[in-house]
Structure 1
């Protein structure tokens, strides 16, 4: 049985995994890659157990930040997003990340967001003010384990300034009235567009149903995004918890600062792949605890490449050997909260079947 974050995740036959995907405007930097490679590893470990993984990774192509980036580039938002999506898909393929079973795009699920907003209104979980439908979010930060002051700071960081029309500071838009000149869609409350958290809630509910077994995303999305996404889903369905298990992948930093376009410190996967094997980059991303933040240094890629060669050499030992106790130890480490460093330590020392198993399950072969 797989354990994630110290919590057992028993599944029978099929696991529903929702991966919080990209907003296609600055792809693909190493922070993106870390999240999606770890999601791929989780899926591979589940399949190693004989579980069918129904994966869903969304594309947030209705977003204010995307619109602004496209405007700066002098392009239509949909054309700009398509180019960024192509680059992202190319980078994921190079890193050995399996394509998800489902890849919903926000612009195709605007109608589902309208349905979500209407259901929340009907259930008393939302209210409408001047064409904007607000989710009643009081208590959401506390349930997510975030103190009120920290919640306000994080909301500002993500551009969620308090709307004076809202009844409570923790209320957020499910549907937002359109501003002049921005893409908008019709709704019972007038022309508008989906709220960010509502997009993911609507896509996850539409594709995977009322709950998911494993939800994967960056640590920086724990609040407000995942907290409100799950709160909206639980409010509309009555099913709790929305996600049985969470993987909040540790933030990638440069010089101690979170990698972000706004910080001007992006490290692009495409640039790194020009001078290093893709498998070495993948190894660098996963040879660590998945939930801890870490600092990227270029020299670490050479170290990862050298270790990869040692693992290949170890795998070549005893080619005719069958399964071994060391291979069982590799499996046990991966099931214990995706302990990749522990699995690789066994694989490198034992070699043979253990090393081949580790390389195969981790997508490094």
Structure 2
């Protein structure tokens, strides 16, 4: 804990218009990768924002515990492994190592916990049992479905759009076994030809995606977290259903005190996504630009706002970074040195913090570079 930053008036994080008072320990969960391909800029943006939030909280004296999961039980991973003629476990291991290397280059701190879905199968079974005990789930044909038909009300979506999103994320709203199209599988029954399955009280199967994250959070942090991070596209169905499952199983609300969902990155007018091949790969960017410039590209904007990637933006970030280095070389303790961390606590306002650092220079610029790991 950095006691130097605990003097003066209380400093509280404001996020998305909501003040989130923190006392001592901060439990932080970050939705991680499905390890079947290389890291693109959309992924990196989420993890850089989560890293910045962690660093800001640590700067202000909090003991932050971070978990970032790996979804290594997923149909997309299994399909890619079949396409490559490789074992899904080997593919996941190789891609996870590549991702971790990229994160280290970008100075994203290693999480305290790196749970994987495969390590938490037993906790998903426990979650399904708890939901059944509370009549928040039902079992049919070896599949345990959670009653999540109202989860979409946690968002601004209407019912029809929620069903469309459920279909997009492969939640099978057309499944006739469900009581409601928006119910989700916590435990999915598998057949004799399925390549990956585990035993359960309801027969062989594997966990549903949303249940994996819920089980990992509950196993690591108890009934909930202080700050939950992920991409904006995960708000529904993933985050909404994850929270609904946890609250139904534990009876404790809210599951997450705050949400940090980084705005989506697009290219040529379309969302950056592996599934469409519409990608800007981080490893390509790092061949010609510094890690600090990539971080500043992602951070020097409102965190929740979607944005369009253009190569010139990275050149601009590189130029701004050079200006910050020059400003940091100035001597002295200008008033802006305190204003920089205050701006970052105010809804993670990096653009305002950058403007202060460039105007005041000296310690203000040095503080910003340190806080955001731009060196």
For the criterion TM > 0.5, the same-fold answer is yes
Deviation at 1:34, TM superposition (A): 0.3
Structure 2 residue matching 1:216: 3-state secondary structure:
strand
Q: State how many pairs are aligned.
A: 362
Structure 2 residue matching 1:110: 3-state secondary structure:
helix
2:360 matched to 1:350?
Answer: yes
Moved more, 261-270 or 166-175: 261-270
Q: Deviations over 1:26-80 (max 9, x none)?
A: 2301011000000000000001111010001000000011111111111111100
Q: Which runs of 5+ in 2 are unaligned?
A: 1-11
1:1-365 alignment, distance < 5 Å: 1-162=12-173, 163-179=175-191, 180-318=193-331, 321-322=332-333, 324-365=334-375
Deviation at 1:168, TM superposition (A): 1.1
Q: Name the CA distance, whole Å, in 2 between partners of 1:191 and 1:164.
A: 20
Structure 2 residue matching 1:289: 3-state secondary structure:
coil
Consecutive aligned runs of 4 or more in structure 1 exceeding 4 Å deviation: none
Deviation at 1:241, TM superposition (A): 0.5
Moved more, 244-253 or 176-185: 176-185
CA RMSD in angstroms comes to 0.9
Q: Which runs of 5+ in 1 are unaligned?
A: none
Deviation at 1:317, TM superposition (A): 0.4
Q: Name the CA distance, whole Å, in 2 between partners of 1:348 and 1:111.
A: 52
Q: Name the CA distance, whole Å, in 2 between partners of 1:42 and 1:6.
A: 15
Structure 2 residue matching 1:3: 3-state secondary structure:
strand
Structure 2 residue matching 1:58: 3-state secondary structure:
strand
Q: Name the CA distance, whole Å, in 2 between partners of 1:145 and 1:238.
A: 24
Q: Deviations over 1:134-183 (max 9, x none)?
A: 00112111233321011011111112222110111111100000142320
Q: What is the match of residue 5 of structure 2?
A: none
Confirm or deny: 8 A CA contact 2:144 2:188 kept in the other structure.
yes
Q: Name the CA distance, whole Å, in 1 between partners of 2:240 and 2:159.
A: 13
Q: Name the CA distance, whole Å, in 2 between partners of 1:195 and 1:59.
A: 14
**TM-score using structure 2 length:** 0.95
Deviation at 1:262, TM superposition (A): 2.3
Deviation at 1:300, TM superposition (A): 1.2
Q: Deviations over 1:220-243 (max 9, x none)?
A: 000000000000000011110000
Deviation at 1:83, TM superposition (A): 0.6
Q: Deviations over 1:316-348 (max 9, x none)?
A: 001xx24x3211111111010000000000001
Q: Name the CA distance, whole Å, in 1 between partners of 2:314 and 2:93.
A: 30
**TM-score using structure 1 length:** 0.98
Q: Name the CA distance, whole Å, in 2 between partners of 1:143 and 1:286.
A: 27
